[in-house]
Amino acid sequence: MFPADLPTLLVRPYEPADEAGVLAAMARAYGRAPTPAEWRWEMQGNPSGAFAWLALDETARVVGLVAARGARMLFEGEPVLFALVVSALADPQRRRGLRNPGVHVRTLQAFAEAVGGPAPERVPIVWGMPVPETWRIANKLLKLEAVRTQLVLSTPLARLVLAAAPGVEVEEVQHFPDAVDGLFARCAAGRGALAVRDRAQLAWRFGARPGVSYAQALARRGTELVGAAVFRPGDLDGERGVGLVCDWLVLRDDAGATSALLAWLAARARDAGVETLHAFAPETAPEWRDFQSSGFHARRLRKNYFLAARSFQKRTSMRWLYDNWYYTLGDTHVV
């Protein structure tokens, strides 16, 4: 039964009619909230889907929320869904301690029970990038564990080492074409886990996001697509005005494509008036080595410390994810 001071807390899945109440709750909890368009983009536009659970008090006011972004994955070659937690809030007036949890624990538990579970029926991996202030809740209540302490790769433009890229042409595009599906399929070969980067997903992630513009480019050798990259200027981990390598998909060991796309990123960064490039890649992926060989250095992040996950299937450990999961900044909600 409900604890005495939570007499009528109702926990249930989010519905579009809850939008105004959710945004008001976010404004109370965070001091700011997404615009309605941004929220609809997150909750309704994603071709991979979204997940959200609410807690409402006796006046039907939203006092708890867990929202997650779906990602269609190729996981050992099979299609599964991962869910990235983008918001987990409890109304400041209803928060309680970890020893005596209230809104937070009930919302998070309802979310986990409804969403998490072995593939293919359920979502086997729920993950996030909690900041220190939210790590205890993520760890204790949602049972996220560290996959890795995330480092960022960064370089001043002047340190970039660009090899020759004979025969590789880079074309900036407004939208990725259907042919990007084939590039993704070839890049996915041999990967343990990575999010699907097909035309529909990329169009939503980088083409349709309200209020944020991304520059997108393709690399071709002759008629063959050999790589894709996405850029925007912005802030990362408290550092303002940096160049963000938002996505990176290049055929393995294609040094020409790597170099050509890095040259495009550098040119885009100069155009935007920023002097550094920042990227995410797992240190277990070939891209990690490629970026370092091109002049990027690994640095700690001050705020987004852990990439953390909860596995709902026994065979997938945090170590397996550490060793096998490829992702970029675009997989996160950071950019």
Partner 1 sequence: MTDYEIREYRAGDLPSLLETFELCFGRPGADRPARTAAEWSYTYEQNPAGWRIWVAATKGKVVAQYAARPYRVWLDGHVRSFAEIVDSMVHPEHRMGLKAPGLFVQTARPFFDAYGGPNHPKDMVHYGWPIEAAYRIGKLFLGYSVLRSQTALAREPGPGGVELPPGVGVLERFDASVDPLYDRCKNGWGASTIRDATFLNWRFVDHPRHDYTLFAVRADDGALRGYAVYRTGAWILPRMGLVADFLVPNDEREVAQALKEALLARARTDRVSAVGLFLPEWSNWFERFQDWGFLVWPTPYNMIVRAFDPRHKLFWLRDNWWFTLADSDLV
Q: Which residues bind partner 1 (CB under 8 A)?
A: 132, 135, 145-149, 151, 283-284, 289, 292-293, 297-300, 305-306, 317, 319, 322
Q: Which is nearer to partner 1, 148 or 205 (by Cβ)?
A: 148
Residue 235, number of CB atoms within 10 A of its CB: 13
Distance of alpha carbon 264 from alpha carbon 333, whole angstroms: 24
One-letter-per-residue 3-state SS of 34-67: CCHHHHHHHHHCCCCCEEEEEEECCCCCEEEEEE
Q: Which is nearer to partner 1, 194 or 285 (by Cβ)?
A: 285
CB of 248 to partner 1, least distance (A): 18
Cα end-to-end distance, the chain, whole Å? 41
Q: Which is nearer to partner 1, 12 or 297 (by Cβ)?
A: 297
Q: Which is nearer to partner 1, 114 or 318 (by Cβ)?
A: 318
H-only helix segments in 147-188: 180-188
CB of 31 to partner 1, least distance (A): 23
- Whether the link from the prior residue into 120 is cis, omega within 30° of 0, is yes
CB of 298 to partner 1, least distance (A): 4
CB of 159 to partner 1, least distance (A): 9
CB of 146 to partner 1, least distance (A): 4
Q: Rounded to whole angstroms, what are the CA distances from 144 to 96, 140, 187, 279?
A: 19, 8, 29, 24
Q: Token digits for 290?
A: 């490629």
CB of 22 to partner 1, least distance (A): 30
Q: Which is nearer to partner 1, 46 or 294 (by Cβ)?
A: 294
Q: Which is nearer to partner 1, 44 or 149 (by Cβ)?
A: 149
Distance of alpha carbon 52 from alpha carbon 56, whole angstroms: 13
